[in-house]
Amino acid sequence: MPRFSYSPAMVEFLRDQYRVMALKDLVVVFNAEFGLAKTFSEIHSALKNHHIVSGRQGSEITRGHSRLFSPAQVAFIRTRYQDLTYTELAAALADAFGIAVTAGQIRTFVRNHHITCGRSGRFEKGNRSWNSGTKGQGLTGRNKTSFAKGNIPSNTRELGAERISKDGYVEVKVAEQNPYTGCPTRFKAKHVVVWEQANGQLPPGMMLRFLDGNPLNCDPANLVLISRGENAILNKSGLTGMPAEIMPSCIHYARLRKKMAEKTRRK
């Protein structure tokens, strides 16, 4: 297919009209003038190939004009926004002009164009509030009879109740003050509770590992006390998924590695 060649008259037309109209409008009038069906990209390429520039500043043509609404629609919005909400105004635009816009688009438009509804948002003198006359019905303020003294919420868990945490550990409710809320009871990791019942409080910097890797198995024989540094070595060495029968050897290896690292740092 031979390459299309723009005549001098076409080039001059583009040069003159591009100074006063946007490219999308130039495509329409050019095709109407010469009976062609050039696309947006084709006209854009023609302008570049013939070194035609508009000479305008960036938004000189479109400044002050809405790309979403026509002038008639903008006037409609300015008038009806006085007594309609965003949702109601979107529906009114659909009825009047057959366009589909959202309440969010209306909200953005009126804010960007500094269109105000004239309403203050306050209760004017003489207005009646929606909850007027409902005093004592529990619709305003606290209802003093909702919770009688001594009532226990239906979702209260008894001491010793267990649950599974979001991390997959068993937690048990114990009579121990919650350090975060000050409540006299709290949920605590069951494997920690089981170990502390036999050995006392967990030492600082230490943690418990499950020999079989199952966090639901809180049997004391399945728990081993290690330091957090030793645990890091196990994780970095890829030894966390080893069978339970060889995990003690893996832990001894981690302890040896930790001691060797400490001696190296001292030297």
Q: How many whole angstroms separate alpha carbon 195 and alpha carbon 208?
A: 9
Q: Would you state the pLDDT for residue 60?
A: 57
pLDDT band at 258 (very low <50, low <70, confident <90, very high): confident
Q: Where are the beta strands (DSSP E) in the chain?
A: 162-164, 170-174, 186-189, 206-210, 223-227
Sequence-separated contacts (24+) of 151-160 with Cβ below 8 Å? 159/185
| pLDDT over 80 at 150, yes or no | no
> Element (H or E) spanning 261, and its range?
helix 247-266
Facing residues of 170 across strands? 164
The per-residue pLDDT for range 86-99, each reduced to its tens digit, is 999 999 998 988 88
Secondary structure (H, E, C), 216-260: CCCCHHHEEEEEHHHHHHHHHCCCCCCCHHHHHHHHHHHHHHHHH
pLDDT band at 162 (very low <50, low <70, confident <90, very high): very high
Q: How many whole angstroms separate alpha carbon 59 and alpha carbon 104?
A: 25
> Element (H or E) spanning 195, and its range?
helix 190-199
Residues 6+ apart with CB under 8 A from 154: none
The per-residue pLDDT for range 48-103, each reduced to its tens digit, is 999 998 877 665 555 555 667 888 888 899 899 988 999 999 999 989 888 888 99
